[in-house]
Structures are given as structure tokens and as C-alpha cells.
Structure 1
Amino acid sequence: MREMIGVTMKKIVAILAAGTAFGAVAMPAAAEDFSGPRVEAIVGYDVSQAGSDADNDLNDMDDQDIDGLLYGVGIGYDYDMGNVVLGIEGEYTDSTAKTEYSDGMDYEGFGLGRVDTGRDLYIGARVGAKVAPDLLAYVKGGYTNAKFNVLASDGESELKQDINADGWRAGAGLEYALSDNTFTKIEYRYSNYSEAEFENGDLPDSDRFDIDTDRHQVVASVGMRF
């Protein structure tokens, strides 16, 4: 009798163990929580170029674009609704992009003259969908304000002036949760600047005027949630 009970208990334990193992395999992985405040470091590729209204089609030597390294920081707050994530975000970035001459004729003016790219401020919102438990695909959009630093020279004196440009930004990206509170992102965004003013320079500040400048960026970032 004791042997029968022992055999029965062993069978029950084996069945429970098998069921537990099956449950561990069959149970889907828990989705990461994308809620809460976040901060991130950003780096990527930045190119500004003349928009369609500012193209210089008469000069084949004018590249009409400048490119360089983008770097900065971002903050945001997300609300995880289950399969959908809503968020607000802001950024402060800078760039090494500037106009250059080569062979005495190749001038990368892109419609704004001889400039180097200054700081860029962005504020906007995003909406995302969980395509995997730890992977978020999202689109974004908002307002951007950028500065381009102008430098002109006649050989004897120099003129320094800032161009303060307003525009909008749209983009899309992927965010991968490395852990409960760390993440990495890759993102493409497009910005267009349509109004600007001269300020903070050797000449008096100007009234606002129309421009047409496009900006393309591919960036990666790493960050933390709190």
C-alpha cells in the first residue's frame, strides 16, 4: 500500500512539474511598461539643405546642403495604455554642420549664405504601438526652433549675425527596452523652417521674413526611465 501511494505521489509530482514547464513555455512574455518620465542622450547625422523655393538651379557648383554630427539631450513623459503609448517630449541639440569652400568655387550655401548650424530646440508629442513586448514603434511631430550662425567678411571686417528660424518636425522611430528602466532608440526625422529673423549680431534685429530650409536627421539615443 505504501509503495502504491509512493508511486502515485511520484506520478502527481511529475504531472505537476510537466504542467508547470508547459505553462512557462506557453505563457507569453510580459510586455514592458513604457510609462513615466525619461531622459536620453542623442547622437546622429544632420543635414540641412535648401528647400524647393530656395534651390539655386543656375549654379551647378552650389551644393546647397551642409551636414555634420548632431548631439544633444532629450526629456519626455510617456503614458502606457496597453498596446498604445502616448507621450510628450523635448530636445536640446547642436550640430557641427557648416558651409565650406573647396577648389575655390564649390560653395555649400543652401539658401542661407555662409553659416554654421547652432542650437536646435524641439517640443512635440508622439504616439506608439507595441510591435513586441519590449519594442515600440512610434511616430512624432511638433515645433522646432533652430539657429544658424552667419559669418560674412569683405577681407577687412567681419559681420556676425544669428538667423533664428521657426518650423515643424515629423518623424518615426523604434524604441527597445533594454531593461525595466533603460532603453535605446533609433529615429528618422524631417524638419522644415519657413520663417526666420536676424538677431544677436552686429546689425539690429530684423523683422521676420520667409525662408525655405529642409533638415533631415538620423539619430540614435540611449536613456533611462524613472
Structure 2
Amino acid sequence: MRPALPCLPLALAFAGTGASAAPTPFAGPRVEVMLGYDATELPDEDGPEVMFGLRAGKDYGSGPWRVGFDVDLSRSNADKVVTDLFVPGDRIHVEYGTDLYLGLRVGRRLGDHSFGYGLAGAASTHMAVDYSGDLDTIPTEPGGPEPEKFRRPGRLIGFWTGGGIEFALDGPFFLRSEYRYANFHDGLYRHQALVGIGSRF
């Protein structure tokens, strides 16, 4: 046994190095896919609206606390046509493009396999609005103003906030449940409830 004694400090040193290199739970870079429900300011006359997207980010750990950032791109089938919105016979068509979210999140470990967090950041979406009245059904006086027609394309900038819970699965994989709210100018907003599945590396 004595010949092995000089090797004991070296073995302990390697063991300590391996322990310090162990990954910190709920920390490090990550990627995921998302799917969820998307509700806008217009009535849901055409049924449920679905959003889907990709997200990447990184979390830093200290004790039970985590601080990280998120970047994600998403799309939605929230495009819709609504009639009789302001006056009988009018028509509004809203078409959404790609959504971009950039923000921070702060949270705390709730246990060995769960992590709760809040998030906030900037939101950007592309939305085109076409509105017109039906001249055949809207009564107008001779010489009076005609129903308005307008189109507003462009990118809207706002803020978003929300929160969620992340659950650790086998290996580097995780499952997330999240709610977030985005608000843009002119009173435009979105509510989204989503689930995500991803991996840390």
C-alpha cells in the first residue's frame, strides 16, 4: 500500500478538478423550440391562434439564483379578417409578420428539477392593417364624407414581460411553460402562453 501513497494527492487533485467542472444546474447556453397560444387585441372570431418559434440564450448561476438573456424569433397565424368592427359593412384585415424578442430573465431554483423565473425586454413585430368600408351598405349623405380607407404597414416596437417555470429532463434537455405579454404603441398588445422544449450545451 505504501507505494500508492505518493499518488494519493495527485488522485485527489484530479477528483477535485472533475468536481469543479461539473455543470451548474439551469445554467449555460441553451436552444429550444416553442409552440403556444397567441391572443391579440382583435376578437377571436376565427378560432384559436397559434404561435411557433425558436429561442436561444444563456444563463449564469450563483447559488440558487440565475440571471440570463433570451433572443427568439417567432411567427403566428393570428392573421385575421373582421367585418362590422366600427360601422356596419366595414372590413379590417390584420396580417402579422415575424416577431423578435430580446430580453433578460432572473429566477431561482425551486428544487433539484425546477426553476422559476421572470422576464422582461424589448419586442418587435411587423403588422400590416388594411381597413375599408363597404360603400354599398354604409349609408352616406350626398356630398358627405366617404368611409375611410387606409393601410398601415410597418414594424412596431414595444416591450414584453412575463414569467415561467423550467423543468429539467434527462441529460441536457428541459421543458418550459411560460406566459408573456407584449405591448406596442397605439394600444396594440399580445398575450402568449407557450411551452418549449430544448437542450443546454
TM-score by length of 2: 0.71
Bigger CA radius of gyration: 1
Aligned counterparts of 2:106 and 2:157: Cα–Cα separation in 1: 23
Identity over the aligned pairs, expressed in percent?
Answer: 30
Output the CA distance in 1 between the equivalents of 2:130 and 2:57: 35
In angstroms, what is the RMSD of aligned CA positions? Answer: 2.8
Distance 1:169 1:160 in 2: 26
Deviations 1:169-200 (A, max 9, x none): 00010000102311010000011102xxxxxx
Any idea what SS the aligned residue of 1:180 has?
coil
Q: Alpha-carbon deviation of 1:153?
A: 6.6
Identify if the C-alpha distance between structure 1 residues 141 and 125 changes in structure 2 by more than 3 Å, giving closer, same or farther: same
Residue 179 (structure 1) aligns with: 170
Q: Which whole-Å CA distance do the structure 1 matches of 2:119 and 2:131 have between them?
A: 36
Aligned-pair distance for 1:45?
Answer: 0.4
Q: Distance in 2 between matches of 1:186 and 1:32?
A: 21
Partner of 2:159: 168
Aligned equivalent of 1:144? 123
Is the aligned partner of 1:39 residue 2:31? yes
Count matched residues: 160
1:151, CA displacement in angstroms?
A: 3.9
User: Match of 2:79, as an amino acid?
Assistant: K
Normalising by structure 1, we get a TM-score of: 0.63
2:192 paired residue among 214, 217, 223: 217
Check if 1:99 corresponds to 2:80: yes
Q: Deviations over 1:10-50 (max 9, x none)?
A: xxxxxxxxxxxxxxxxxxxxx96111110000110001116
Find the aligned partners of 1:162 and 1:100 in 2 and give their Cα distance.
16
**In the alignment, residue 169 of structure 1 is paired with which amino acid?**
W
Task: Summarize the alignment of residues 60-75 of structure 1 with structure 2, pairs less than 5 Å apart.
Answer: 63=43, 68-75=49-56
1:197 matched to which residue of 2?
Answer: none
- Unmatched tracts of structure 2, length 5 or more: 1-22, 87-91, 135-148
Closer/same/farther in 2, CA of residues 79 and 148 from structure 1, 3 Å limit: same
Corresponding residue of 2:15: none
Structure 1: gaps (5+ residues):
1-30, 51-62, 108-112, 195-210
Give the match for residue 62 of structure 2.
Answer: 81
- Match of residue 190, structure 1, among 166, 178, 181: 181
